[in-house]
Amino acid sequence: MFRDRKNLLITGRPGVGKTTLIREVIADLPLRPGGFFTQVIVIDEIGNMEIISGRFRKAVIACLESPAPVLGAIKAGEGPFVSEIKSRPDVEILELTSQNHSVVKKSVESWIRAIGR
């Protein structure tokens, strides 16, 4: 499903539950210090206020280009930086709506399992 993309970003309208979904998935991860599970970088969120900062934009790019997978939320809509991130070949975008929370959550969990192998 994810065409071997190591970065997964959830998009959707404000208030749809992007942060909640990420928290739910992260809470269920088998991450332990010194464990064998691939560590995941979590970015919540690449939004209007955050992208004003040049340091934040550079940090996001560094995370996406690092060997570690990134799970994050990104604002709906477009803009120069957001469009650049969304169009990266190593980024998969899932749109969250109020109707598809469970489907998107299962997709994110499936991605987590795939990167943890």
5-63, pLDDT tens digit by residue?
899 999 999 999 999 999 999 888 765 544 445 588 999 889 988 999 999 999 999 99
**CB distance 13 to 77 below 8 Å:** no
Q: What pLDDT is recorded for position 35?
A: 46
CA distances from 10 to 36, 75, 117 (A): 25, 8, 22
Q: How many other β-carbons are positioned within 10 Å of the β-carbon of residue 41? A: 15
Amino acid at site 112: I
The gap between the terminal CA atoms of the chain, to the nearest Å, is 16
pLDDT at 75 over 90: yes
- Structure tokens given for 55: 């340091």
pTM of the model: 0.89
How far is it, in rounded angstroms, from Cα 28 to Cα 94? 19
Query: CA 100 to CA 90: how far, in whole Å?
Result: 24
The β-bridge partners of 42 are 71
Tell me how far apart the alpha carbons of residues 114 and 117 are, in angstroms, rounded to a whole number: 6
Q: What is the pLDDT of residue 117?
A: 63
**Residue bearing the bigger pLDDT, 56 or 112:** 56
- Report the C-alpha gap between 44 and 37 in whole angstroms: 21
Query: Residue 34: its pLDDT value, please?
Result: 46
For the chain, domains (ranges, CATH) are 7-115 (3.40.50.300)
Q: Has residue 68 got a pLDDT over 60?
A: yes
* Cβ–Cβ under 8 Å, residues 13 and 100: no
Give the model's pLDDT for residue 17: 96
